[in-house]
A and B are shown apart, each in its own frame.
Chain A
């Protein structure tokens, strides 16, 4: 484990990414404590430009709501949606991939055709349809993002499991009569984990983007403020008030960039060949 942190901290992208993620998480966790008021509250005159009043440092939107407060509360929603939907996607994707890879044959065929069924539909279009049918709420958004993002996980895990399945130590475990579940959980999955972790960090970034795109189209949870909602609501007045759109847009950009950097750092740190070279 120390080895992992050492190589992680050695890669500059990993460090920057971690820093951004920690910053975003602390904003999401502690920010609302500093701003007890609801971000929906109309606090100043509308369309107040940024840096004119210290109480609303980033200006106000079309209704006079504090853009800075919106960004802080938005961080909570964006990160939460990103993390939870990725977790759900992993919970669905990993077992399906593992079973398909381990059992092979008809089980593999059935599970993979099922996975492909989801993969053939453009994921964003599917997400829109699901949210529209289920009615926009935080739950339907998390669910629809998870539904469109588990297939790659399943395919990745299946590939890893397929190659590990033929290794001697797995065969040995089979010969000693250990149960399939035990072999998958104890012998195979821990060794297939590194690429999944890397993929997961990128999935969080994709999920944040997906949530933002949905909110941008007006399919966000109407009771929660999110960065995508802010960009979408400000888009139409961008000629009069650029700041309503630009600040949350930058927040999306930075957090997605941060997660991608982390993914890169993780890839370097978890890749045995690369880390050996680094030593």
Chain B
């Protein structure tokens, strides 16, 4: 046996040994930052980012989603789809109890669906294709759709469709129900106390249906309003987990270099925030497709990724993030090419008309990005004027269509029918909103493709439709796609297995454990 092979064997043995050593350990307290302080924890009524992050560990949905967005069992043990793709049957897990000890049954599912239709705008939208929901027995739920709806299995994530206890909410005024302040779910952690402005404390659910889980005893969500103070809290060891977006980007490299620190960009696949520039297609030079294409060529997006986002994220190729179903990169490409941008501008007859740029008032990173994009566009001869406003002022201008170029980023929710189409179909144009089709792009062909894509079967047909739509959109540049954003989660390396699903920290403490 040669030395090299021997060495390999020894290494292999060492690796298995260390893999065995990674057996989860029970016990311990985790301190995590929550930013900003959530307005409330009742997930069925409040869907702010921080609410989802804390309450995703208290409540549960029927399904969980892997980083590849494949549905996994959670409260539903198994599911089946009928031949005509109109009937979905879920078998519920037995022996699940609410935090107050009452059993979780199909009646709770039926009630949750009804309640969410009243209290949760996105759920109402997602459930629009549902004709009826029935419960043949206590552990079976059947959804019957009006017509086949491709992304249907993607709507059961805990933030999109949390299960609510019927026995505590039925017949009450949802808004004033006392359990809104002390939420009761089926999740691995139970709400214990909330000292406003200071911390939210969750404790282990001892009767959790997955034996042995959760491993952690307690979670303290620390509320620290100042970004610099949050970094310091991590450095001094006050907190062990900094969820994505809780510290400024330029602090990430410094914190990453600290001892025993692990950084990951994973855990945002379900949301896949995609940043782009709204281009006002209605008026001025930007109404010309060639000018919009010139903007794509003029902006150095690799620079933005490497310098402004510290190398995190990915340059976007089109309307879909690469983590979204039916994504294709077989589309026209727009590399950084100022010469080509200048040529296109000349061809379009652009004569230095003033163009207003609206950066996003979300802090330093976005301000710097606005400055860099402005400089890129000025370099190819565009006359850019930056308008500075606060968040509310910016939203108003965008909603009133009173802008030429504006920064934004939006979640995509896993499927083009849920998160992508809304930004490009003409039926989603409405004054006053800051999401959906703000740019005023209208193309009957795109309208038809997205309408067909949502209900087409089988999957291969949907794929074909959405790939075609992506090609047309990238050619037309209704908006200028910038980056697939990544919000790095920074943790002490002793926190293991925190991010295992497509929503990351939001339901991550179920599997997390502390290596002491």
Contacts and interface: CB of A to CB of B under 8 A. Distances in A.
A180 interface: no
B250 interface: yes
A41 interface: yes
A41 B379 contact: yes
B346 interface: no
**How many A residues touch the partner, as a band?**
20 to 34
A136 B393 CA distance: 12
Nearest to B371: A40
Contact of A63 (B254, B372, B385): B372
A41 B388 contact: no
A236 B228 contact: yes
B250 A236 contact: yes
A46 interface: yes
Given A42-B375, A62-B250, A240-B250, A218 B388 contact: yes
**Top-6 shortest CB links A-B:** A222-B386, A222-B388, A40-B375, A136-B388, A46-B307, A237-B250
Contacts of B387: 135, 222
Nearest to A237: B250
Q: Interface residues of B: mostly helix, strand, loop or mixed?
A: helix
Nearest to A223: B386
B148 to A, nearest CB: 49
B303 interface: yes
B248 interface: yes
B289 to A, nearest CB: 27
Interface in B429-470: none
A64 B307 contact: yes
Interface of B: 227-228, 248, 250, 254, 303, 307-308, 359, 364, 367-368, 370-372, 374-375, 378-379, 385-390, 393
9 contacts: A41-B375, A41-B379, A62-B307, A63-B372, A135-B389, A222-B386, A222-B387, A223-B386, A236-B228
Contacts of B375: 38, 40-42
Contacts of B393: 135
B71 to A, nearest CB: 41
A132 B388 CA distance: 10
A63 B378 contact: no
A221 B57 CA distance: 44
Contacts of A38: 375, 378
A64 B376 CA distance: 13
A62 B254 CA distance: 14
A38 B254 CA distance: 30
Contacts of B388: 135-136, 218-219, 222
A239 interface: yes
A223 B385 contact: yes
A62 B368 contact: yes
Interface string A34-56: 00001011100010000000000
Contact of B368 (A41, A135, A233): A233
Contacts of A63: 307-308, 368, 371-372
Given A42-B372, A135-B389, 13 more contacts: A38-B375, A38-B378, A40-B375, A42-B307, A63-B371, A219-B388, A222-B359, A223-B385, A233-B364, A233-B368, A236-B227, A236-B250, A240-B254
B172 to A, nearest CB: 43
Contacts of A222: 359, 370-371, 386-388
A225 to B, nearest CB: 10
A239 B248 CA distance: 13
A135 B375 CA distance: 21
B249 to A, nearest CB: 10
Contacts of A233: 364, 367-368
Nearest to A64: B307
A223 B359 CA distance: 12
B311 to A, nearest CB: 12
Interface string A190-221: 00000000000000000000000000001100
A237 B364 CA distance: 10
A7 B505 CA distance: 72
A46 B379 CA distance: 19
A106 to B, nearest CB: 42
Contacts of B307: 42, 46, 62-64
B250 A40 contact: no
Given A63-B368, A218-B388, A42 B303 contact: yes
A38 B390 CA distance: 26
Q: Which of B307, B367, B372, B388 has the most CB of A within 10 A?
A: B388
